[in-house]
Amino acid sequence: MSESKLAGQFFDAAIGLLHRVRDEEADNITAAGTAVADAVAAGGRLFAFGAGHSSLAAQDVVYRAGGLALMNLLAVPGAVGVDVMPATLGSALERVDGLASAVLDSSPATSGDVLVVISLSGRNALPVEMAMNARALGLTVIGVTSVAYAEETKSRHKSGTYLKDHCDIVLDSHIAVGDAELTAEGIEAPFAPASTVVTSALMQAVMATAAGSLAERGIEPPLLRSGNVDGGHDWNGRIMTEYGDRIFFRH
């Protein structure tokens, strides 16, 4: 099988998943975007959390051109990205009981805020407890996960529950268990994961919906412009000043 054919197959698989979430998750995307807009309009704050590679989609909506300036990364030391050494420590930390509550208790997140919890499998202790504890604090929790994992795998949380069980709104990425779209003769393991592409697209769709919802209410969405466009720094400076009490990545 040629390399170009495999590349085409991956693009086809990713595009198919994007079509699926666009169509099947439309109502949930609208609900999530509306919840984000509600929090912005009411003076609340926005947070996103993901562990391991799920953190990529969370980081994708924080401090970026075209994004809402109020979206803050809720970081768990050692669990965001693959920069922790050894890399396997990040996976181990996802299974530690109590870590989520320690992070939330020391964060600025409070009742009335919105927290997006991103976890492909939704089965580990960290995302499950993050959602549980956030809701107990009065936050609106949006979960981005693959519901298939709850049907085909066993929870690693002591409650036996999954991320999807502790969210106000669930966005299903429809990624198959194992997160690999391709198989080929001569290659023993499945390969070419699409979860980052799909989950990031879901997040951006929610942000776009939120911006539109705010505009419909006559509220200027607090969006950032590219610093590489003339006037971008001045624009962003105004937004940062106006909403400084709700932007935590600037400190």
Span 133-141, average pLDDT? 96
Average pLDDT over residues 105-119: 95
Which tens digits make up the pLDDT trace of 159-204? 989 999 999 999 999 999 999 999 999 999 999 999 999 999 999 9
Instruction: Say whether pTM exceeds 0.95.
Output: no
Which of 60 and 84 is assigned the larger pLDDT?
Answer: 60
Write the single-letter amino acid at 71. M
Mean pLDDT of the chain: 93
Which DSSP letter does residue 80 get? Answer: B
Q: Where are the alpha helices (DSSP H) in the chain?
A: 3-24, 26-41, 55-59, 88-93, 99-105, 125-136, 147-152, 195-216, 232-242
Q: Answer yes or no: is pLDDT of 152 > 70.
A: yes
Q: Say whether the peptide bond before residue 77 is cis (omega within 30 degrees of 0).
A: no
Evaluate if residue 211 carries a pLDDT over 90: yes
Q: Are strands 114-118 and 140-145 parallel, antiparallel or unpaired?
A: parallel
Distance CA 157, CA 159 (A): 5
Phi/psi class of residue 146: alpha, beta or left (left: φ > 0; alpha: ψ in -120 to 50)? beta
